[in-house]
Amino acid sequence: MSTVELTKDNFDEVVQGEDGKGFVLIDFWAAWCGPCRMFGPIFERASDKHTDITFAKVDTEAQQELAAAFEIRSIPTLAIIREGVLVFAQPGALPEPALEDLIKQARALDMSEVHANVAEQKAAAAAE
């Protein structure tokens, strides 16, 4: 599967997915960034292997508002959103084995537990 260009205009549609249970890996990058260019082919190969996951790229120069919403301070940054929840975000280019391990860990998440934790955090914040 090829990657999708993620913009503020298509963000909600891409992240939610067709069934509302979207699983999206996002690569925040810029054309001038050497490590971003090195990570790009690794990200593309992973997208070819994992066709059930949406792989999206955000050009931080063109999509400054989206990069700001994710508080991107360093690129490349990789983020994972499952079922509308940001479950991972970390700057730095990953080697291929580390990316594969990260995808495996993201697949293994118990999303009902994640949603319960998010609900608890929201309730605690509302109580303060």
Q: What is the largest CA-CA distance in the chain?
A: 46
Catalytic residue among 24, 36, 72, 93: 36
Catalytic residue among 33, 42, 80, 93: 33
For residues 77 and 75, what is the distance between their CA atoms, to the nearest angstrom?
Answer: 5
**36 has catalytic annotation:** yes
Strand order in the sheet with 4-5: 4-5, 54-59, 23-29, 77-82, 85-91
Give the SS3 label for residue 1.
coil
**114 has catalytic annotation:** no
Catalytically annotated residues: 33, 36
